[in-house]
Amino acid sequence: MLATIYVIYTEGHTGTSSDTLTRVDLSREAIRLGRVLTELMPDEPEAVGLLALMLLTEARRPARTSADGSMVRLADQDRTRWDGSLIAEGHGLVRACLRRNQPGPFQIQAAIAAVHADAAKAEDTDWSQIVALYDHLFALRPNAVVALNRAIAVGELYGPTDGLAALASLDTARLETYQPYHAARADLLARAGHVDAAIAAYDRAIDLTSNPAERNFLLAQRAAWATRDRA
């Protein structure tokens, strides 16, 4: 049940079959179901963790798009537009999970979202704590997607070269058709100065993207680096 609710939420967070970046109807329904579940299972820490994760992620939704509907990446978001009430509720749930000391995957992901929410500016993000949390998450759920997210965090903490080294250690066969892998690799390659390889990675990510807002964002990133390389 928890996994089903989370799938509904992720489809609302970035719609794979909509003209806009998000589908608010699905996000709200998933959060409603999460609230119902925590009322029915108040002693289940993972249910509480899932609700916290959704609330803390949903808090960022107002800043994820610009006035024209364009996607805005996390680092560039106007954090004054984040929903403070959802952040406060999510933080309270994360603290409740910590008191139980029964960590699970949804609780750790909620803790990661809470670290992001704590940063008033992108440069204030505690990436060392996020990497440590991903280490903990990988111990519980050792899969390629968790490893990818950890590699992205490593790139933010230590720089793009270290991020690329972390990516190189992954089982890329499992990520070949996973768009976020190619998008993350493109970003790291570009920041490390490997622009031609970055453009090829952007091309692959764009091919795998079905959401128009996300596609336009990647196209803009690709164009910016291609232009910069020729300047």
Same domain for 146 and 116: no
Judgement on whether residues 148 and 110 belong to the same structural domain of the protein: no
Residue 136 belongs to some domain of the structure: no
* Pairwise CA distance, residues 112 & 133, whole Å: 7
Tell me which of 91, 125, 159 is where a domain ends: 125
Domain containing 47 equals 1-125
Distance CA 211, CA 196 (A): 25
For the chain, the distance separating the N- and C-terminal CA atoms, rounded to the nearest angstrom, is 52
Domain match, 69 and 15 both:
yes
CATH of the domain at 156: 1.25.40
Instruction: Verify that 102 and 145 share a domain, yes or no.
Output: no
**104 lies in some domain:** yes
Quick check: 128 and 157 in contact, CB under 8 A? yes
Overall number of domains in the chain = 2
CA distances from 14 to 7, 138, 159, 195, 196 (A): 11, 24, 27, 27, 28
Residue 180's nearest CA partner among 63, 10, 43 is: 10
148 and 121, same domain (yes or no): no
Rg (CA), the chain: 18
The predicted pLDDT at position 173 comes to 87
Same domain, 160 and 106: no
5 & 116 share domain: yes
What is the pLDDT at residue 230? 54
Token output for 174: 């499992």
| Tens digits of pLDDT across the chain (231 residues) | 999 999 999 999 999 878 899 999 999 999 999 999 999 998 999 999 999 999 999 999 999 999 999 999 999 999 999 999 999 999 999 999 999 999 999 999 999 999 999 999 999 999 999 999 999 999 999 999 999 999 999 999 999 999 999 999 998 888 999 999 999 999 999 999 999 999 999 999 999 999 999 999 999 999 999 988 555
Check: pTM over 0.85? Answer yes or no. yes
Q: Which tokens sit at 207?
A: 């091919």
